[in-house]
Amino acid sequence: MADVGDDVYGEDPTVNELEARVAAITGMEAAVFVASGTMGNLASILAHCQRGQEAIIGDESHVLHYEAGGSSALGGVILHAVDTRPDGTLPLEAIQRAIRATDNLHFAPAGVIGLENTHNRCGGVVIPPTYFAEVADLARAHDLPVHLDGARIFNAAIARGCPVTDWTRHVTSIQLCLSKGLGAPVGSVVAGPKPVTARVRRIRKMLGGGMRQAGVVAAAGLVALDQMVERLADDHANARLLAEGLSQLHGIAVDLAAVQTNIVIFRLAAGLDVAAFLQGCRSHGVLLTNMGNGTLRAVTHADVTVDECRHALAIVSHVLGDLGAAEQARENAAFDALRGRR
Domain ranges, residue 258? 232-341
Final residue of a structural domain among 170, 197, 227: 227
What average pLDDT does the segment 232-247 reach? 98
Strand order in the sheet with 289-292: 252-254, 263-268, 295-299, 289-292
Kindly state whether residues 174 and 62 are assigned to the same domain.
Answer: yes
Least confident of 45-49, 110-114, 139-143, 322-326: 322-326
Which pLDDT belongs to residue 57?
98
CA distance 130 to 136: 10
Kindly state whether residues 215 and 236 are assigned to the same domain.
Answer: no
Kindly state whether residues 113 and 179 are assigned to the same domain.
Answer: yes
Residue, of 197 and 271, whose pLDDT is higher? 197
State pLDDT tens for residues 243-300.
999 999 999 999 999 999 999 999 999 889 999 999 999 999 999 999 988 899 999 9
Asked if the model's pLDDT at residue 136 lies above 70, the reply is yes
CA distance 95 to 104: 18
Cβ neighbors of 287 (< 8 A, separation 6 or more) are: 281
Provide the percentage of residues in the chain whose pLDDT is more than 90. Answer: 90
Q: Cβ distance 61 to 114 under 8 Å?
A: yes
What average pLDDT does the segment 94-99 reach? 98
Instruction: Kindly report the CATH number assigned to the domain that includes residue 322.
Output: 3.90.1150.10
Kindly state whether residues 161 and 310 are assigned to the same domain.
Answer: no
Which pLDDT belongs to residue 335?
44
Final residue of a structural domain among 204, 227, 250: 227
Strand order in the sheet with 30-34: 30-34, 188-192, 173-177, 146-149, 110-116, 54-58, 78-82
CA distance 147 to 144: 10
Which pLDDT belongs to residue 103?
87
Alpha helices in 110-231 (DSSP H): 129-141, 153-160, 165-168, 194-206, 215-227
Provide the percentage of residues in the chain whose pLDDT is more than 70. Answer: 94
Asked if the model's pLDDT at residue 20 lies above 70, the reply is yes
Kindly state whether residues 94 and 216 are assigned to the same domain.
Answer: yes
Question: What's the chain's length in residues?
Answer: 342
Q: Does any domain span residue 87? A: yes
With cut-offs at 50, 70 and 90, classify the pLDDT of residue 31: very high
Final residue of a structural domain among 227, 248, 266: 227
State pLDDT tens for residues 57-86.
999 999 999 999 999 999 999 999 999 999
CA distance 132 to 249: 37
Kindly state whether residues 71 and 211 are assigned to the same domain.
Answer: yes
Which pLDDT belongs to residue 122?
97
Q: Does any domain span residue 154? A: yes
Helix (H, G, I), strand (E, B) or coil at 228: coil
